Every structure is written in structure tokens, then in C-alpha cells.
């Protein structure tokens, strides 16, 4: 029902920062309940990174608490993931996700590569 366009991935040194963006579009954008970020490294399962609901509540994976911050600009229909103090183990493809109110239907972005290396 919604399309998600991601940006902001790239190569960064350990200890550096990146900011990922996820813009939602489509006729159901006003019915988005929550948005989130997931990641998948080679040979590993996709894991939850962070989520933010329409009321502003957030959740984080233990591995990123204190380093990553998820936020949402409802006027722009965009979610952000600010990533600080990046570590090599943060290297993965990061995916954006949106969940619809009531129906709980989900949409996924195409994924963006984040590489942390010296």
C-alpha cells in the first residue's frame, strides 16, 4: 500500500556516524502506525534494529542502545535512523519497514548497504 525509499547508506570508519532516511509515499501514508529499521549481515538472519510508533514510543535492539536513535517526521512521512559510534559488527544491509494501522499490513524498502571498516 505504501512505497518506501531509503537513502543514507555508505562506507564509514569505526567510531563514525551515518544517518539513514526512509520516505513513505502512496495513498495509505496517513494510516501508518509504525515504522522501523531492520538489518541483515551475510550468513545471518534479519534482525530488528529499532521501531517507532505513531505515538512516539520507541524500541531498540540491545546491541544498538545508546548509539542509535530512531525518529519520525510525520509531516514529511519520513523515518530516520541516526547511527553513532559505529562498529564493524554494524555492517549489514539495512531495511526500512512500515506497518499500517488496523490492518497491520507491512511494506519493506529495497535495503541500503552500511559498511563500517578502517
| pLDDT confidence of residue 28 | 82
Which pLDDT tens digit goes with each residue over 50-97? Answer: 999 988 999 999 999 999 999 999 888 899 999 999 999 999 999 999
The number of residues making up the chain comes to 118
pLDDT beyond 80 at 1: no
Average pLDDT, the chain: 95
Min mean pLDDT across 5-14, 24-33, 68-77 is at 24-33
Sign of CA dihedral 56, 112, 89, 106: positive
C-alpha–C-alpha distance, residues 61 and 88, integer Å = 16
For residue 27, pLDDT over 80 is answered with: yes
Nearest CA-CA partner of 107 in 75, 71, 79: 79
Q: What does the pLDDT read at residue 30?
A: 82
Q: What pLDDT is recorded for position 74? A: 82
pLDDT mean over 8-18: 98
Amino acid at each position: 500500500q505504501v512505497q518506501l525509499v531509503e537513502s543514507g547508506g555508505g562506507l564509514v570508519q569505526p567510531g563514525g556516524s551515518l544517518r539513514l532516511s526512509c520516505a513513505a509515499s502512496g495513498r495509505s501514508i496517513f494510516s501508518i502506525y509504525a515504522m522501523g529499521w531492520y538489518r541483515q549481515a551475510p550468513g545471518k538472519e534479519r534482525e530488528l534494529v529499532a521501531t517507532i510508533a505513531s505515538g512516539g514510543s520507541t524500541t531498540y535492539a540491545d546491541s544498538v542502545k545508546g548509539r542509535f536513535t530512531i525518529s519520525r517526521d510525520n509531516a514529511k512521512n519520513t523515518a530516520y535512523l541516526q547511527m553513532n559510534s559505529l562498529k564493524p559488527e554494524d555492517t549489514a544491509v539495512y531495511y526500512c519497514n512500515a506497518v499500517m494501522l488496523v490492518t497491520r499490513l507491512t511494506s519493506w524498502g529495497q535495503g541500503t548497504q552500511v559498511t563500517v571498516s578502517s
